[in-house]
Amino acid sequence: MAVSELRWRSSAQPGLFELGRRVAGRGEYRGLTFWEVEARTIINRVPNRGSLPFEFTINAYRGCSHGCIYCFARPTHTYLGFEEPEEFDTEIVVKVNAVELVEAETRPGRWGGHPIAMGTNTDPYQPAEGRYKLTRGIVEVLVERRNPFSILTKSTLALRDLDLFVEAARRTTVSVDFSVGTLDEEVWRQTEPNTPHPGKRLEAVARLNQAGVPSGVLVAPILPGLSEDGVDEVIAAARRAGATHVYPIMLHLRPGVKEHYMGWLERNHPELAEQYRELYADRSRLRPRNRRRRDTRTNRQVPRPAQLELPFSLPESRRRTST
């Protein structure tokens, strides 16, 4: 057992959830544990949002079995009391009352119709969504209320809800975006082991746009020494897919993620470890002058790719963080 009920209840966020039951995944969900909880609230106001383009978010799940090695949400699981970083991939917290909470919290007179972002912390179309259908239920409510929303995902499961997105695009402002950090098969398999193939994600972008649903691509995260040389290729493929916007983001290694990522790097790409220690020595984000400027294998400065420049990059108002 990853975490005791007692520890859960007395975790750093007492009273945030009420634990309902713990369910062992079977069949396609084998190896996963679902912690079904009742959340007290579901719409989160982002504190100190800084330059973030969204103010309100919904995350129906915590933890994500896509298992991306660089996932910046890993520390949020430690915060809940899960002890091992890998438990983020297998111990999935499911807010089973998410849909009824959205319904209550967006009731006319109570809610100002602000845009809501999903996929800012964990993936709303991760495998658990196939079982619980919470994201679909939330989108149904938002469409019915004509409430603007955006989604960021790596999963082609989003196409299951194409009918809703088409309706949403008719009624309000919507965008369904995909993260595609690399088209390199080996890098993809190594760093995003349980995600749909990047090519399938780009097909989903094309399908959404053809159906009239704005869909863009976040080229993220760009991994120094691993995926940075393929950024132009991703941008060109996104353009061919009709992406309404494309925006690149470098790898962000904040405390809690950095240790996990560096451990993986030492085991899988020890030749790059020293370069990373230097690049991220005193910062979690690369400084602008370091972005895309250095080939970490040769340590030589490299030219900035022309396609990263305007006009094709995402307008400031629509930038978002990656899941």
- Considering the complex, what minimum distance in angstroms separates the CB of residue 122 from ligand SF4? 4
Cβ proximity to ligand SF4: between 143 and 226 the closer is: 226
- Considering the complex, what minimum distance in angstroms separates the CB of residue 111 from ligand SF4? 26
Cβ proximity to ligand SF4: between 73 and 213 the closer is: 73
- Considering the complex, what minimum distance in angstroms separates the CB of residue 32 from ligand SF4? 13
Closest CA to 187 of 217, 157, 231, 156: 231
- Considering the complex, what minimum distance in angstroms separates the CB of residue 234 from ligand SF4? 16
Residues 284-323 that bind ligand SF4 (CB under 6 A): 323
Q: Which residues contact 83 (CB under 8 A, 6 or more apart)?
A: 2, 3
Cβ proximity to ligand SF4: between 68 and 157 the closer is: 68
Cβ proximity to ligand SF4: between 73 and 180 the closer is: 73
Cβ proximity to ligand SF4: between 97 and 122 the closer is: 122
Amino acid in the structure at residue 282? D
By CB under 6 A, which span of 33-41, 64-72, 93-101, 202-210 interacts with ligand SF4? 64-72
Contact by Cβ (8 Å): 264, 69: yes
Task: Phi first, then psi: give them for residue 227, nearest 5 degrees.
Answer: -120, 0
128 lies in the binding site for ligand SF4 (CB under 6 A): no
Packing angle between helix 98-105 and helix 134-144, nearest 10 degrees? 20
By CB under 6 A, which span of 9-17, 118-126, 204-212, 292-300 interacts with ligand SF4? 118-126
What per-residue string of b and e applies to 178-187 under the rule 16 or more CB within 10 Å gives b?
bbbbbbbeeb
- Considering the complex, what minimum distance in angstroms separates the CB of residue 271 from ligand SF4? 24
By CB under 6 A, which span of 45-53, 68-76, 242-250, 286-294 interacts with ligand SF4? 68-76
246 lies in the binding site for ligand SF4 (CB under 6 A): no
66 lies in the binding site for ligand SF4 (CB under 6 A): yes
64 lies in the binding site for ligand SF4 (CB under 6 A): yes
- Per CB under 6 A, the list member of 122, 150, 182, 321 interacting with ligand SF4 is 122
- Per CB under 6 A, the list member of 60, 71, 138, 279 interacting with ligand SF4 is 71
Contact by Cβ (8 Å): 7, 81: yes
Q: Which residues lie near ligand SF4 (CB under 6 A)?
A: 64, 66-68, 71, 73, 122-123, 126, 154, 323
